Amino acid sequence: MATRERTPRFRKRSTQAQPTVPDEKARPRGADLWGWLDDRLGLSALRYAVPKHANTLWYTLGGITFFGIVVLIITGVWLAQYYNPDPAAARASVLYIQNSVRFGDVIRGIHVWTAYLVVITAALHLIRIAVTASYKIPREINWLVGLGLLILLLFGGVFTGTVLRWDQEAYEAMSHNMEIASFFGTVGGFFSDAFTSSVGTLPRIYLAHVSVIPVLILLLLVVHIFLIKHHGISPTPAQADAGEAPGGRLPPEKETGHYPTHLRLMVGYGLALLGLAGILGVLLPQKIGAAPDPTMEVTKPPVFFYWMYAFEDWFGVQGILYAAIAFFGVLALLPFLDRTPFRSLRRRPVVAALGAALVILIVALSIKVAVSPTAKHLG
């Protein structure tokens, strides 16, 4: 944005905040805390212009997801003070959090429900980008980065978090993980229990949940946000199709919104997300199942994985792998397959039909699995 003009009001504020004030004593002492902070932290750099449509709920879903990830980190750090990843004590420690720790049930509820809500907001964010064709040039790579983030949230976060509970469902989830890992041969070895005998699989999954996955998510977030800043907020389909955004970016004079407003929406709706997670956590507390019995297979996965469970019913455990590769593969290829110059969904009937078919398929399969009895898949 350094080469782009800002609105006069913002530019003035930004200029005032530059650390070029010759004499700090000239500033009224204690009169301008913001200025003091701004000189040292460069906060006014956030006062830049964005397209006006960026300050809508529809375009704030990514920011809400980010806020949710922050909530997950904070509540996760709190939960980690009580969770014991030793297989002999893991489930008991979850029960301790739920039943004995002061507000443990509430914090755990917020953590789990926020994870679910974050997957939903991330998925809605992805749908918004697909509908508005924001993945088109020059944002193809950022689409892949965002898709990677969704995959990490879903499989890295929700899935590994399920295993940590170390009840029957958790054990079955881990068994599926190992079975799928075996399909990858040497590459899958890292995810299997045979990778090392010096430490159990549960501690390794815990390590992934609390460090490897969060670090990867944060790294991808840095790249994602950098690319958003680099490319600017994408134009609306109407603007793009009208030729108002050469190179996929609106000219500065069209950017009449303010990023601080976007931040306010992000924090405000993020707090609403936190409140909703708290309400759900209180009204629908997270259950802890029976101690794992390796000889049984009697549970279903979390609801987000239901559609894959249907494929497992049809093709065995490998069905999960095929379904995931097919679904995320199609999404990954979308920017490279959709070469139409248009961004309006009406002018992209193939993408619209494909997207609708995928959504309908996932919803229908999820409903099917929800009403079906559990099946045995593991050998």
Partner 1 sequence: MKRLHTLFASSVALLTLQLALLGESSLADGTTGVSVQQLTPKPGQEITVKGDSLVANSQIEVILTGNGIRADLGNVRADANGDFVTQFQLPDNLEPGTYQLQAAGVESATTQLTVVGGSMVASSAGEMEQAPALRHRPLGQKIGLVAVFTVLAGLGIAFAQWRRRGAEPVSQ
The residues binding partner 1 (CB under 8 A) are 52-53, 55-57, 86-92, 95, 98-100, 105-106, 166-168, 193-194, 197, 199-204, 256-258, 261, 264-265, 267-279, 282-283, 285, 287-296, 298, 316, 376, 379
d(CA 353, CA 120): 21
Q: Residue 233 Cβ, how far from partner 1 at the closest point, in Å?
A: 14
Q: Residue 179 Cβ, how far from partner 1 at the closest point, in Å?
A: 10
Q: Residue 194 Cβ, how far from partner 1 at the closest point, in Å?
A: 5
Query: What stretches of the chain show up as alpha helix (H) in DSSP?
Result: 8-17, 33-41, 61-80, 90-99, 104-131, 140-151, 160-164, 168-183, 201-207, 213-231, 237-241, 259-283, 306-315, 318-337, 349-371
Amino acid at 69: I
- Beta carbon nearer to partner 1, 298 or 303: 298
- Beta carbon nearer to partner 1, 89 or 363: 89
Peptide bond into 302 cis (omega under 30): no
Q: Which residues contact 247 (CB under 8 A, 6 or more apart)?
A: 137, 138
Q: Residue 137 Cβ, how far from partner 1 at the closest point, in Å?
A: 27
Q: Residue 224 Cβ, how far from partner 1 at the closest point, in Å?
A: 22
Q: Residue 377 Cβ, how far from partner 1 at the closest point, in Å?
A: 8
Tell me which residue of 220, 247, 249 sits closest to 233, measured CA to CA. Answer: 249
- Beta carbon nearer to partner 1, 288 or 369: 288
Residue with tokens 């898949």: 377
- Beta carbon nearer to partner 1, 6 or 204: 204
d(CA 72, CA 114): 7
Contact 319, 369 (CB under 8 A): no
Tell me which residue of 361, 328, 358, 306 sits closest to 131, measured CA to CA. Answer: 358
CA within 13 Å, CB half, 126: 22
Q: Residue 374 Cβ, how far from partner 1 at the closest point, in Å?
A: 12
Residue 113 dihedral angles phi and psi, to the nearest 5°: -70, -35
- Beta carbon nearer to partner 1, 28 or 185: 185
- Beta carbon nearer to partner 1, 294 or 329: 294
- Beta carbon nearer to partner 1, 83 or 166: 166
